[in-house]
Structures are given as C-alpha cells and as structure tokens.
Structure 1
Amino acid sequence: MGIKKQLGMGVMTAALGLSLMGGGTYAYFSDGEATNNAFAAGTFDLAVEPTQVIEVDNMQPGDSMTRDFELQNNGSLAIDKVLLETNYDVIDAEGDNTGDFGTHIEVEFLYNADKLDEVIYQTTLAELQSMSPEAVNEHVFDPLLEDGLEPGTGDDLVVKFNFVDNGEDQNQFQGDSLNLEWTFNAQQAADEED
C-alpha cells in the first residue's frame, strides 16, 4: 500500500473514530409519561328556609312572636361565617312619629326551639341595623354555628320579636308598619393546604 493510501486510510479511520466518540457522547435512554389533570370550582350556596321569617298584624306593646328558620348550606364548600345585614323602613300611618319604631322592637336570638329561655344575643332592630355584619356574626352566629356549616347541612335559628311596652305613651306608633329586610351573606372557610 502506498503512503498516500495509508495516509488517506488513517485520516478516514481517525474521522470515523471521532464521529463515533462524538455520537456516543449524545446517546442516552429516555422515557416519558403524560398526566391528565382537571380543575373544578366548588359551589357556595347559603339558603334560608322559609324566606319570609315574620309577618304580623295588629301588634300592641307587650306582644311577643317567636319564629324559627333554617340556614342551609346547599353548596359543596364549607361555610365558615354568616354575616347578617339588617335594614328596615318604618311607614308612619299618622305622620306623628317623634321616635323610631325600630327602637321599640326587641330581637332575641335563641339557641333552638327546645331552649327558648337561652338567649344568644338580645338587641333592638335599631341597634341591629347600626351594627356591622361582622359584629352580628361575633354575637350571634359564632356561638350558634361554632364549627360553621358543612356542605349539605343546616342549622335552625330561633328569633323572638318583642314589641317592648316601655310603660309610657306609645300612641304615636298606632297604625305604623315596619318592613324588615335581613340579608344573609356567607363566607367560605379557609381551606388548609394539602
């Protein structure tokens, strides 16, 4: 074999060796798996049954009415807090009111129908209207709903309304009416991270 041939073969062998070394450096095994993932939002649904808590005619000082209703969690997420906002309007039949009819309507939040003498919180409609929903929760719902409302559960709430007889002339309220609106707002329980 001639020197040219030997040299050519040597260069070819070196090039082949380098290419095998370079190719070997990049060779590896691999494997892959795919996952299927989904995100679904839970539902948050507070219901009150019945939706009309009280309707009374012909009240007079000293009258009391007890009503109960149920707070229901119809969603899939736990309810931690229930906030109550109170609004009322007084319709003055004679136009002679010097006082607020709501200050004469006392509200007693009771534990349940079996324990009507156990008052959770007592106030007037006027005071209740001026309270923040967070304060109402602290005084009423925290003691009543200690652990909140889990999905699919409900809790009874008993309320006693008293037309307070203050022993004075309350003639200015004859024929008056009071329209009460209670708005219940639920707040979600903080979820612990998994």
Structure 2
Amino acid sequence: MSLKKKMGAALLTTAMGAALIGGGTFALFTDAATNKNNTFSAGTLDINVSQTDIAWTNEDGSINVPFNNLAPGDKGELQFDVTNNGTLELRYDVSGGYSDDADATTPSFIQNKTGEDLVITVSRSIDGQNWTIVTPANEDDVVMAPNAVIKYKVNYSFPEAAGNTYQKAAGQYQLTFNAEQTRNN
C-alpha cells in the first residue's frame, strides 16, 4: 500500500474515532410517558314513562289512559312517573290528548261539550306534593336533570248527568313525551 493510501486510511480512522468519542460525549438521557386515561364517551338521553297504578305504558314510551266500562258518576285518578334515566340533562314536551276509538256506530265520550262529557285533567308535580294543572298541548320545554323524576296524574270524571247517548262510548287518552338534550341545543 502506498504512503498516500496509508496516510488517508490513518486520517479516516482517526476521524471516525474522533466522531465516535465526540458523539459519545453529546449523548442525552431520554424518556417517554403516555397518558392512557384519555377516554371519551357520549352521554345518553333516556326518558322513561312508568305507571304506578295500572299497566298502560306503550313500547314507544307513550302512555294510554283507557276509559273502559265507565258509568255516569265515575271518577278516578291514574298516576305515572316521567324519569330521566340518561346521563344528560334533557327537556321534553308532551303531545297527544283524547282520541276516539269510535266508529260510525260507537258514540264518543266527548261529543259536544255540554257538561255531560268525560272531563280529563292532567297535573304535574316535581315533589309529589304540589300539583300544577297542565295542558299537554302547552307542556313544552320541561327540563330534567339526570335521574330526576316528575310525577303526573290524570284525573277523570264522568258526570252523573251523562245520558243514554254515552252507552257503549269508547275512547282513550294518550300522552307522548318527546325529549331532546339541553346542552348545545
């Protein structure tokens, strides 16, 4: 090997050695950490209607108040609870009301508002003690926190003055509770 090649190889070896020594003196300690608890989950919206008197809750969350076998002078009260079983605050409105099951041969319980008709009153209570009469068509934007319960009752009265035209009358009172989230809405 020529002197020139030997000198070049020696310089290259010296440079590589210096680079290794210099690189070793500039080494840093390193570490990494991961935050593993960044879990995201969506809340739930779950309004539930449950009866406390009789079984008349529908699968869609609405309730039917049946009026069967009534005689003039009958009165009664049916109660149910509306519960927010979800994790989000919600607001709901109520739709529905009286509907006839009548056909052309069956009279309606509500015929002509003469004072002989079936009288239905709906009331709401947050504490179960103080009741407010509500009209389902105007029962809008009732706000409920998660796990809150609001009580409802339906009072009915079939006046004694009801005449024979009400024999075989049929009908039902249906209420549907439509809920939506309150946050970001």
TM-score (norm 2): 0.57
Deviations 1:132-180 (A, max 9, x none): xxx4324xxx3xxxx51432x4232122234579x9x976544210033
Aligned ranges 1:17-166 → 2 under 5 Å: 17-18=18-19, 20-21=21-22, 23=23, 27-37=27-37, 38-39=39-40, 44=46, 46-50=48-52, 51-52=55-56, 53-60=65-72, 64-73=75-84, 75-86=85-96, 88-92=99-103, 94=105, 101=111, 104-112=117-125, 114-115=129-130, 119-122=132-135, 131=137, 135-138=138-141, 142=142, 148-151=144-147, 153-163=148-158
Q: Which runs of 5+ in 2 are unaligned?
A: 57-64
Over the matched positions of the two proteins, sequence identity in percent amounts to: 20
Return closer, same or farther for 1:31/1:96 CA change in 2, 3 Å cut-off: closer
Q: Which has the higher helix share?
A: 1
**Residues of 2 paired with 1:76 and 1:182: CA distance?**
20
Return closer, same or farther for 1:154/1:119 CA change in 2, 3 Å cut-off: closer
Return closer, same or farther for 1:93/1:7 CA change in 2, 3 Å cut-off: closer
**C-alpha RMSD of matched pairs (Å):** 4.3
Task: Kindly tell me the number of residue pairs found equivalent between the two proteins.
Answer: 164
Q: Which runs of 5+ in 1 are unaligned?
A: 123-127
How much has 1:40 moved relative to structure 2?
Answer: 5.2
One-letter amino acid of the structure 2 residue matched with residue 177 of structure 1: A
Return closer, same or farther for 1:171/1:55 CA change in 2, 3 Å cut-off: closer
TM-score (norm 1): 0.55
Return closer, same or farther for 1:70/1:102 CA change in 2, 3 Å cut-off: farther
Look up the match of 1:183.
176
